[in-house]
Amino acid sequence: MNFIKNSPKYKHWYPIYALMLGSGLIVGEVTGLRTEDIDFKHNVINVTHTLVFYDRSKAKKTGFGINTPKTKAGYRSVPMIKTVRDALLEQKQYLKIIILNLLISLMASVILFLLIALVMYSIKGL
């Protein structure tokens, strides 16, 4: 895990590996997690959804979807060890930065569009 965590090329994968290895969750359970499923106050991960693949031969269309676990045993609460907690908090901070950067980029695009529209309007108005 230290290789992944410290590698400039692979470190973005660290939170997912730490979560899977530290919690025992399988890929479908991890990818089905939502923010509200992670309880940092009580250090628990609540498994209530899974990501499933719908095959065209068995469904109306092919693709992924969020579903509930297949059995009652699939619904469970998993204790969150420190490694998992730290990795999830790190991922949460990373996502906040990404969202902030996207918002800044969107705002810059809107401002640029408005400036161009204003210039075009003022040229047309002359």
Q: What is the band of 120 on the pLDDT scale with cuts at 50, 70, 90?
A: confident
Label residue 105 exposed, middle or buried (CB < 10 Å: 0-12, 13-18, 19+): exposed
Per-residue tokens: 23: 């919690």
Among candidate residues 113, 33, 47, 32, the one with its CA nearest the CA of residue 77: 47
47 lies in which domain range? 2-125
Taking only the tens place, the pLDDT of each residue in 12-32 is 999 999 999 999 999 999 999
* Structure confidence at residue 123 (pLDDT): 82
- Reading the block at residue 125, the tokens are 């108005």
Report pTM.
Answer: 0.72
> How many folded domains does the chain comprise?
1
